[in-house]
């Protein structure tokens, strides 16, 4: 498999976590978003949306959008399940993942922030306030939804693969996290887990750190 991504992309990060949790080997293909490589003709043939991540399976068939890629990996490689067997519990995990992927992450995507700068004359203080507002709203809900011990819902699940990259983004943007002790518990567990460590942005080949 080949994973096209960018070290700092939270959507790429969540796919890397799932691949690592499942013990799946893949070749990383960096796409430098700051240099505009996502708009190169070669990459557009893989993902016409010009975003990351994209995953090529062993037959070189391309998949886009991290939720679809993650669900494919869960179904194709069920030996290490990241969704509970119980249907209600599966819905809870998917609900938290969707909260982050649909309602939080898109609002601090670089394309959204650049639109605010270019079309609404937002200064950097305005951008910071925007990011803080939407990430904080999401984390308030997450804090209420997750369990009292272990990862988000006890054992590692897709929920953790979505939450940890969102926390990375929150720290990048200096969003205060002290009000979320349950979330910080999950983060501490992930920080000691080999799969989450391997997937961390600073441990990617294209990271400048």
- Domain residue extents for the chain: 2-80, 87-196
Question: Given this model, what pLDDT does residue 16 score?
Answer: 98
Helix (H) or strand (E) run with residue 153 in it: none
List the beta bridge partners of residue 2.
Answer: 27, 56
Give the Cα separation of 39 and 50 in Å (integer): 6
Q: CATH top-level class for 87-196?
A: mainly alpha
Could you tell me the CA-to-CA distances from 74 to 19, 81, 127 in Å, in that order?
Answer: 10, 7, 36
Which two three-digit tokens encode residue 142? 């997450």
* Average pLDDT over the chain, rounded to an integer: 95
Whose CA is closest to 166, among 153, 175, 155? 175
Is residue 107 predicted with pLDDT exceeding 90?
A: no
Condensed to tens digits (0 to 9), the pLDDT of residues 144-194 reads 999 999 999 999 999 999 999 999 999 999 999 999 999 999 999 999 999
Q: What's the pLDDT band for 141 if we cut at 50, 70, 90?
A: very high
pTM of the predicted model, to two decimals? 0.95
As a CATH number, domain 2-80 is 3.40.30.10
Using the predicted structure, report yes or no on whether residue 209 has a pLDDT greater than 80: no
**Alpha helix locations (H) across the chain?**
10-21, 41-44, 66-76, 87-98, 110-119, 124-145, 158-172, 181-191, 194-199
By residue count, the chain amounts to 209
Taking alpha carbons only, the member of 168, 167, 152, 55 closest to residue 94 is: 152
């Amino acid at each position: 498999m080949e994973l096209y991504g960018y070290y700092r992309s939270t959507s790429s990060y969540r796919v890397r976590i799932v691949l690592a949790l499942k013990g799946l080997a893949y070749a990383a293909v960096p796409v430098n978003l700051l240099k505009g490589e996502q708009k190169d003709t070669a990459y557009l043939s893989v993902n016409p949306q010009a975003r990351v991540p994209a995953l090529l399976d062993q037959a070189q068939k391309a998949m886009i959008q991290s939720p679809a890629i993650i669900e494919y990996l869960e179904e194709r490689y069920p030996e290490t399940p990241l969704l509970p067997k119980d249907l209600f519990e599966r819905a809870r995990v998917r609900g938290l993942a969707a909260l982050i992927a649909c309602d939080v992450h898109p609002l601090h995507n670089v394309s959204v922030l650049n639109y605010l700068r270019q079309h609404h004359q937002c200064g950097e203080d305005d951008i910071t306030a925007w990011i803080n507002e939407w990430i904080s709203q999401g984390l308030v809900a997450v804090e209420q939804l997750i369990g009292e011990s272990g990862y988000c819902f006890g054992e590692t699940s897709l929920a953790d693969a979505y939450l940890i990259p969102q926390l990375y983004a929150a720290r990048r943007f200096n969003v205060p996290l002290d009000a979320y002790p349950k979330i910080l518990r999950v983060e501490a567990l992930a920080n000691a887990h080999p799969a989450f460590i391997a997937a961390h942005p600073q441990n990617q080949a294209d990271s400048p750190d």
